Amino acid sequence: MDQGAYLAALQKYCPYADIRVWQDVVETNWQAEYALVWKPENELFQHQQSLVAVFNLGAGIDALEKLKDLPQDVPLYKLREAGMGQWMLEYVLYGLIHFGRHFDRYHRHQTAGRWEPKNTRSLREKRIGILGLGPLGQYVANSLHDMGYNIAGWSRSLKNDLPFPQSTGLESLNGFLAQSHFLVNLLPATDETFHILNADRLMRLPRDAVVISCGRGSIFDEHALLLQLQTHHLRGALLDVFEHEPLPIEHPFWKQDNIIVTPHIAAPTQADDAIKQVLADILDIELGGDQLY
């Protein structure tokens, strides 16, 4: 996270604000009203008495929720789309095209000098299952739907006005997985989503399905996912997020040739968009709104 970019954006849109950077503050008695944080230390919250709201400078609040002194009575805001949607969409499109248009095969064939065009069905005939319909999941799903792809969504609660089929609840998950030729993980890390894709559920995916994971890694039983890829029940995986990050050097994902590992870069927070959202939320609070996310 580029702190300089945030300070520049804050100063640009909010020139009169009293801004302190926590790492630079040596005295322990300073008090903030609005804390903008990304994976802060617990210590940050130990002496705060004037907090009005905490803003997480990312979409996922899992790191923050683990802190024991995170004040329970102060509203916590997270980034919604905030300019990250297009990045996430590009990441997902890369995985769809890489595997769906057989670029993985052509890349392998190149090393052997093999000229072997493969007949293939249109990607539009394949079902793309989006797990997680939060702001980023909806952005990706709606965009792909608008591009003519065959989309279905699954999430914890039903969302209004989505132009593609959606299902909700654990009881519908196996059916959803069974129809997903491409499975896109955009779920957050919560107690309910931990290892939700275990060995049994991963086996429900159709043969040759592709997994694209860019929400949180803890939703997979990684050992089970690896097995499905080693046995070629699954065709391939593009993975950006992992149960432990950085992905440990000895982790077998690194060496598995039908997995592409990327270092949590799918959708970096966009400082300008993030600060605009935070400022709009602060204005809303100051004007007496009570919109919580």
Write out the binding residues for ligand GLV, residues 248-277 only, by CB under 6 A.
269
Q: Which amino acid does the sequence have at 84?
A: M
216 is catalytic: yes
Residues in contact with ligand GLV, total (CB under 6 A)? 4
- If the CB atoms of residues 245 and 286 are measured against ligand GLV, the closer one turns out to be 245
The single residue among 9, 10, 32, 59 that binds ligand GLV, judged by CB under 6 A, is 59
Task: Show the beta-strand stretches assigned E in the chain.
Answer: 34-37, 53-56, 76-78, 127-131, 150-155, 166-168, 182-185, 209-213, 234-239, 259-261
CB of 280 vs ligand GLV, minimal distance in Å:
18
Write out the binding residues for ligand GLV, residues 126-165 only, by CB under 6 A.
none
Q: Name the packing angle between helices 135-146 and 85-100 (round to 10°).
A: 50
Question: Cβ of 242: how many Cβ atoms within 10 Å?
Answer: 20
Please check whether residue 219 is in contact with residue 225, taking contact to mean a CB–CB distance below 8 angstroms.
Answer: no
Minimal CB distance residue for ligand GLV: 58
- If the CB atoms of residues 229 and 247 are measured against ligand GLV, the closer one turns out to be 247
Q: Answer yes or no whether residue 40 interacts with ligand GLV by CB under 6 A.
A: no
Segment lying near ligand GLV (by CB under 6 A), choices 57-65, 92-100, 124-132, 254-262: 57-65
DSSP-derived pairing of the beta strands 259-261 and 166-168: unpaired
Please check whether residue 144 is in contact with residue 92, taking contact to mean a CB–CB distance below 8 angstroms.
Answer: yes
124 is catalytic: no
CB of 218 vs ligand GLV, minimal distance in Å:
12
Distance in angstroms (rounded) separating the CA atoms of residues 135 and 253: 29
Which of 80, 145, 216, 235 is flagged as catalytic?
216
Catalytically annotated residues = 216, 264
